[in-house]
Structure 1
Amino acid sequence: MTATIQASSKRYYSPEEYLELESAAEYKNEYRDGEIVPMTGGTTNHNQIALNVSVALSIAFKQQDYRVFIGDVRLWITRKRFYTYPDVMVIYGKPEYFNERKDTITNPQVIMEVLSKSTKAYDRGDKFKAYKTIPTFQEYILIDQTKIQIEQYSKTANKRWLYREYDDEDTALVFNSLELEVSLLDVYEKVNFEETESEENGEA
């Protein structure tokens, strides 16, 4: 039997309580230093973009020591006491599991989020600030699902990030930390922008 976590502004949970509730929850929730916050449901375009990127990366990484995780793998950010589920994560070498939990990692090199109307400000703001505290984190990719537009933040030095924007389907997304390119045509394959507005209006 599944359950839905009821977040409350008056109640703060320990990480252990969150994990116990999350294991039985019907929908995914974030844990933000004591607060449990329901995550919004994804659209078909959101899912298609995440799938496209993960497939392209997985193919490119054959015979290389990189791992690609999508959606259901949880990330623990120690310095912020924060659990979340990035859309796509790339890890170099072996995953570092938190407390030996095979569903929770701590060492992403690249994190990718597909933006939605309800979460884009958070993804660009507080969530990015939390990600920056991860020692292994080198690159952040934000993909718009309503039009061809990708924002890229690449770490160049301590607390310094290089910003680049892509908005031409004939170009390629160049990962600075991976020495890899992915065509924007591949990123947005089978994405129907005409469906985006109606899909996003139905988001939780």
Structure 2
Amino acid sequence: MQITKQRYYTPEEYLELEEAAEYKSEYIDGQIIPMAGGTINHNRISLNLSAALNFAFRQQDYEVFMGDVRLWIPQKLTHTYPDVMILAGKPEFFNNRKDIILNPQIIVEVLSKSTKGYDSPAETLCDREDKFQAYRTISTFQEYLLIDQTRIHVDQFSKTGKKQWTLREYDEEDEAIALATVPFEISLQNLYNKVKFDPVESEGESADVEGLG
């Protein structure tokens, strides 16, 4: 296998390249990593959640941002695009740029079998762990949702103390997810509304939840 030398990019070079790029990429400690393309299920879940959050917070001091807003994690030298971010109060911007924020309270990622172009479940798991570790260096970060787009399954991590987090899993259609750090609840039926699962990925069972909700 041919080994090529990897180029190191500065954060400034990344931002300049990203301005002109046709597709989004993440920046991780000098590396520019193209993001995998989104799917219809990914889009449906993100929209279902964001719409419900935006409606719930219309009279409250919280703000919701979707995947086009970038997050800068200074301790990890990382620029990334979380699927959904919830902020309490006013956003803090990186270098006064209105497209890069610093202070999310809740981060939501919609997962797929492939992350950053890898197909191995082990690589995907590693990526999930690395991102969570990076997010935990953000002082305002209190809660993390991982939503599976290939089946009904959500992991909810909530901060309970310094270096202490609890995990709750959801995998039944009649359950509802209650966020721990903001006043918001959504049923799995509404979260997965109109989502259609691949029968192969759900072990041959019919998993069309288009009619849910």
Do Structure 1 and Structure 2 share a fold, with TM-score over 0.5? yes
Residue 60 of structure 1: aligned partner: 56
Residue 184 of structure 1: aligned partner: 188
Q: Does 1:118 align with 2:114?
A: yes
Q: Distance in 1 between matches of 2:13 and 2:199?
A: 38
Deviation at 1:194, TM superposition (A): 2.9
Cα 1:140–1:123 change in 2 (3 A) is farther
1:146 to 143, 146, 150: 150
Which residue type is aligned with residue 125 of structure 2? A
Q: Distance in 2 between matches of 1:42 and 1:196?
A: 19
Deviation track 1:85-143 (CA, whole Å, cap 9, x = no partner) reads: 00000001111000000000000000000001112424521011000000000000000
Residue 101 of structure 1: aligned partner: 97
Q: Does 1:136 align with 2:140?
A: yes
Residue 4 of structure 1: aligned partner: none
Deviation track 1:146-191 (CA, whole Å, cap 9, x = no partner) reads: 1110000000001100000000111101100113211111100010
Larger radius of gyration: 2
**Alignment RMSD (CA, Å):** 1.4
Q: Distance in 2 between matches of 1:20 and 1:180?
A: 37
Please give the residue correspondences for 1:19-98 in structure 2 after superposition, counting only pairs within 5 Å.
Answer: 19-98=15-94
Cα 1:196–1:177 change in 2 (3 A) is farther
Q: Distance in 2 between matches of 1:64 and 1:196?
A: 42
Cα 1:21–1:195 change in 2 (3 A) is farther
Contact residue 58 and residue 68 of structure 1 kept, 8 A: yes
Which residue type is aligned with residue 62 of structure 2? Y
Q: Does 1:174 align with 2:170?
A: no
| Count, aligned residues | 190
Q: Distance in 2 between matches of 1:115 and 1:176?
A: 21
Contact residue 113 and residue 123 of structure 1 kept, 8 A: no
Cα 1:43–1:196 change in 2 (3 A) is farther
Q: Distance in 1 between matches of 2:40 and 2:5?
A: 31
Deviation track 1:27-50 (CA, whole Å, cap 9, x = no partner) reads: 100000111111100110001101
Structure 1: stretches of 5+ with no match in the other structure: 1-7, 198-204
Which residue type is aligned with residue 98 of structure 1? F
Contact residue 138 and residue 177 of structure 1 kept, 8 A: yes
Structure 2: stretches of 5+ with no match in the other structure: 116-123, 202-213
Give the TM-score normalised by the residue count of structure 2: 0.86
Give the TM-score normalised by the residue count of structure 1: 0.90
Q: Secondary structure at the match of 2:150?
A: coil
Contact residue 9 and residue 35 of structure 1 kept, 8 A: no
Q: Distance in 2 between matches of 1:122 and 1:75?
A: 20
Q: Distance in 2 between matches of 1:148 and 1:118?
A: 17
Tell which has more relative contact order, 1 or 2 (C-alpha 8 A, sep 6+): 1
1:162 to 161, 166, 186: 166
